Each structure stands twice: as C-alpha cells, then as structure tokens.
C-alpha cells in the first residue's frame, strides 16, 4: 500500500484568528483505513480451514476496529484429526480532526503444524489519507514502530508509516522496518500550505509447515498535531515564551529556527517567525 495521488494546487495562506491548537488547519480529501486477517489449516494436503475477513472505512470519522481469526474456532475445523492451527489479527484505532491525526495499528500472525500439516495466517492494518494543509503551520510529530518475526519459519512482518508533502516530496515522518527491528521519531517544524499524504500499514505472515511453529507481529503508533506558526513550543498558546525560545535557537544557529524550511538559518527565518508572531494565531 504505497500509493501516492497528486492533488490540485494549494489553498492560500490566511491569517491566524485563535491561539487554540484546535483551530482548523487541515481538510481531508481522500482516505481509507482497514484491518484484515486470513487463516488456513491443512492436514496432509487436505484443506481443513480457509477463512478470511476484513473491516474498512472510506470516511474520515474515527475508526476503531479489531479483527481476529482463529482456525481452531472455525466451524469446519476438525479438532479430532487436525495437525495444524493458525491465528491472524489486525487492529486499528485512529482519529482525524482539523488539527490532529493520530493512529495506532497492530498485526499478528501465528501458526503451528505437525509433520503432515500446514498452519498459515496473515494479519494486516492499513491507513491511507491525503489532506490539504490550509495555512502556514507549526507541527509536532511522533512515530514509534516495531516488527518481530520468529526465526526458522517462513513468513515476516513489516511496519511502514510515512507523511510527506505532495508538492515537494519532502518527508515529515518516515519509518519503514521489517522482521526484527524498531524505530522512534520525534520532530517539530513548520509546514507551508499544500497537499500531503499519510500512508501506513502493518503486516504479519506465518506459514508453518512440516513440524514448525512461528509468530510474527508488527505495530506502529503515530501522532501529528498542527499549531499556529508562532507557537514555537507547541503548547497551544502563543506568548512571550515562544518568541524568546525561537530567538535563542536562532541566535545559536540551530536548525530548530529554520522557519522557511530551506535548511539554512538566516535573517529570512527570523522575519518569517516574527511576522507570524505579530499576527497572533
């Protein structure tokens, strides 16, 4: 699920009118979120269980779904003769508002088999969103992810979450890991109006055969919040503390003071911030 759709031109910048972090900054334009799972159990080449299920939304309302399949709980499962079992699950909790996008997703799979069987399972959760950032904004983003797969069994796990400008291609958050890995990102900065994409998925697969057993899990948690551009400390209020903190960073030449995002700290950044500060929110 690594789709990118280009959108039409940016919405013009407009002046801030509130110091509240809940002010409108983004307008969602397209999105899907889903969870799914599959389980297969076979005995000596004969399929005992083959089941799958999914949940999906195409809207922007909160999406809270948890789906789990267990081969041993399927009506056709033969618990007298079966030599295999498998479980798969996908879970997602996500919320989209005018100033914040947050989500937590997880996928698990496990399977086991005796010498003549096969236990196969998958778990998946996906998040896809394009949105328009309507104004110059300060942002704070965090992302954490893990992936883990038992060695010695066919399968794997992946965890991807990615936010980027569709105008410049610059990533705001990028995590892409698999199997036995983890990553954590914390970042603050400024973003200019325009179209953005948020893409994320987790997947887990186990295919246990000929007396093997294994597990796979993947997970990520992401939160991005938008604030008035003069809200340097991103606490939801613009005051003297924001001005002082920015000027301290600017005097030190810190990239945290790179208000125009060009990778260089100079007088333009100072002017950009002070104009935003003078305008309030």
Percent of the chain at pLDDT above 70? Answer: 90
Rounded to the nearest integer, the mean pLDDT of the chain is: 88
Distance CA 187, CA 253 (A): 18
Which residues in the chain show pLDDT less than 70?
A: 1-22, 45, 80-81, 151
Quick check: pTM over 0.85?
yes
In the prediction, which pLDDT does 151 show? 67
In the prediction, which pLDDT does 27 show? 96
**What single DSSP character describes residue 18?**
-
In the prediction, which pLDDT does 4 show? 27
Contact 107, 123 (CB under 8 A): yes
In the prediction, which pLDDT does 78 show? 76
Strand, coil or helix: 207? strand
In the prediction, which pLDDT does 6 show? 27
Distance CA 224, CA 274 (A): 24
In the prediction, which pLDDT does 8 show? 28
In DSSP notation, 59-122 reads SSS-EEEEEEEEGGGSTT--TTT--EEEEEEEEEEEEE-SSEEEEEEEEEEEEEE-TTEEEEEE
Distance CA 177, CA 91 (A): 18
Q: How far is CA 57 from CA 127, 151, 227, 268, in A?
A: 10, 35, 28, 43
**Helix 240-251 with 267-278: angle, nearest 10 deg:** 180
pLDDT digits 0-9 by tens, 118-131? 899 999 999 999 99
| Tokens read off for 193 | 């109006």
Contact 29, 7 (CB under 8 A): yes
């Amino acid at each position: 699920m690594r789709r990118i759709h280009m959108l039409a031109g940016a919405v013009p910048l407009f002046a801030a009118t509130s110091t509240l972090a809940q002010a409108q900054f983004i307008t969602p334009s397209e999105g899907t979120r889903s969870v799914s799972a599959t389980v297969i159990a076979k005995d000596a080449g004969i399929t005992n269980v083959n089941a799958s299920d999914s949940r999906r939304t195409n809207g922007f309302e909160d999406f809270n779904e948890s789906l789990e399949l267990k081969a041993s709980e399927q009506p056709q499962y033969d618990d007298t003769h079966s030599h295999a079992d498998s479980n798969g699950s996908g879970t997602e909790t996500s919320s989209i508002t005018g100033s914040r996008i947050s989500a937590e997703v997880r996928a698990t799979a496990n399977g086991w088999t005796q010498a003549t069987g096969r236990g196969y399972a998958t778990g998946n959760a996906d998040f896809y969103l394009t949105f328009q950032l309507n104004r110059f904004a300060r942002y704070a983003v965090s992302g954490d992810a893990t992936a883990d797969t038992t060695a010695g069994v066919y399968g794997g796990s992946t965890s991807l979450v990615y936010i980027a400008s569709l105008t410049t291609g610059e990533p705001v958050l990028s995590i892409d890991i698999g199997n036995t890995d983890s990553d954590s990102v914390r970042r603050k900065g400024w973003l200019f109006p325009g179209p953005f994409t948020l893409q994320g998925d987790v997947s887990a697969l186990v295919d246990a055969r000929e007396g093997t057993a294994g597990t796979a899990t993947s997970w990520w948690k992401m939160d991005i919040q938008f604030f008035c551009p003069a809200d340097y400390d991103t606490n939801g209020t613009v005051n003297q503390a924001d001005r002082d903190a920015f000027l301290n960073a600017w005097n030190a030449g810190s990239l945290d003071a790179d208000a125009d995002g060009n990778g260089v700290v100079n007088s333009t950044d100072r002017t950009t911030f002070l104009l935003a500060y003078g305008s309030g929110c």
